Amino acid sequence: MKAGQLLGERYELVRELGRGGFGVVWEARDLRLGRSVAVKTLRHRGPDSANDIRRMVREVEILARLSHPNIVVVLDQGEAEDEPDRVSYLVMELLDGPTLAHVIATEPPDLARSLAWGRQLCTALGAAHAAQVIHRDVKPENIMLTGPGWEVVKVLDFGIAQIGDNLDPLTTTGSVIGSTRYLAPERWSGGPGTVRSDLYALGCVLYELFTGNRPFTSTSQVGLMNQHLAHHPPRPAWLPAELGELLLALLAKDPADRPADADEVRRRLARTVEGIRELRRRADAAWEASGDDRASDAVGRLRELVPEFARAFGRYDGRTLRTAHDLAVSLDRAGRTAEAYCLLAELLPAAVSALGAQHPDVADIERRLSRFSRPAQPCAQGLLAALLAG
């Protein structure tokens, strides 16, 4: 097939977007409605083509029953001649953004955006599960971002999804179907997909999204299988504690130990978001107190907040270090200048290491330090570490 070719006397191929074992995806122009669409094409050729075509038909059936803003929309299907073969095609909405896999590999998002995307993934999977559809291939490559600022998540590629009790010939028990990096332990023995096997795959995706690293990294199939069956990835210490615990719960080896459904995962992500907002509200209130001649009160509040930020975001996250900086400023305003100097002196190299020498927060610390005279008594060591540990 080539650009300019017409399918079904309606869809003019514009450019190839991607290809794989399951066919070629094109950008096309719907001449009837005057809009751009995505067209997945599959040739009637090769030993597996008959099964692939049945899977395409299955994908149409599944997407037609899933009407959700976070699931790709199917628009049409058909067949066309492309000598010497026939071609089946599936028409879907054209998505203008990258895959989640591309974003993670090139520009990992911040925690707030990752949490927003994670909640959208949960709502999409929850809608599919409510319609008795198990995706069975949840992975970053099957998640696309679209809309202004890539704010909207779209789940796609339901070609190997399972409907209901898995009794159809395309999804028979005993064959391992899915991407091995995201495959639940019970699926490695050929067991059918379930809500909780999809949630395990979601856990792998979220772990990668929130940390930038996959939870299971072996380069061989046997190694991956052993890791999925027996290896427990560490809880990322720099993430909010509740979020880290959720990731490990999703990756539990026993399905019964995982969250019950996607809505429970969404609610727990929402609690993490609210916890972060509450920390920020308390930090803002403490800073305001420091500027309202209540510096001593601010010192007490910020001493409590710094270790909480450390547990929520990590000891050397910018938000944690900024809160420690605010504490130093409040100490100075409360007349405790030597303590303020000593804390800033320890904070500066930590901030340079974590944020980089050119970061505005580092420049702020340097400016404040330059205004102090060195205390007569040497600074005690380990002030920052003790503060971060609470």
Residue that finishes a domain, picked among 77, 93, 109:
93
CATH number at residue 124: 1.10.510.10
pLDDT value at residue 217: 94
Q: Indicate if 65 and 135 belong to the same structural domain.
A: no
Q: For 307, how many CA atoms within 13 A lie in the half-sphere containing its CB? A: 10
CATH number at residue 52: 3.30.200.20
Residue that finishes a domain, picked among 65, 93, 121:
93
pLDDT above 50 for 167: no
pLDDT above 80 for 8: yes
Q: Give pLDDT tens digits for 191-224.
A: 888 999 999 999 999 999 999 999 999 999 999 9
**CA separation for the pair 299, 385 (Å, rounded):** 17
Q: Indicate if 235 and 384 belong to the same structural domain.
A: no
Q: Please say whether the beta carbons of 245 and 206 come within 8 A.
A: no
Range of the domain at 290: 277-389
* Bridge partners (DSSP) listed for residue 74: 92
Please identify every residue annotated as catalytic: 137
pLDDT above 80 for 85: no
Within a domain: 268:
no
Q: Indicate if 252 and 132 belong to the same structural domain.
A: yes
Within a domain: 131:
yes
pLDDT above 80 for 390: no
Q: Indicate if 85 and 105 belong to the same structural domain.
A: no
256-264 mean pLDDT: 97
Average pLDDT, the chain: 90
pLDDT above 60 for 103: yes
pLDDT value at residue 172: 47
161-185 mean pLDDT: 71
Counting beta carbons within 10 angstroms of the beta carbon of residue 277, is it exposed (0 to 12), middle (13 to 18) or buried (19 or more)? exposed
Q: Give pLDDT tens digits for 217-246.
A: 999 999 999 999 999 999 887 788 889 999
CATH number at residue 283: 1.25.40.10
Q: Please say whether the beta carbons of 44 and 88 come within 8 A.
A: yes
Tell me the percentage of the chain whose pLDDT exceeds 70.
95
pLDDT above 90 for 104: yes
Find out whether the peptide bond into 192 is cis, omega within 30 degrees of 0.
no
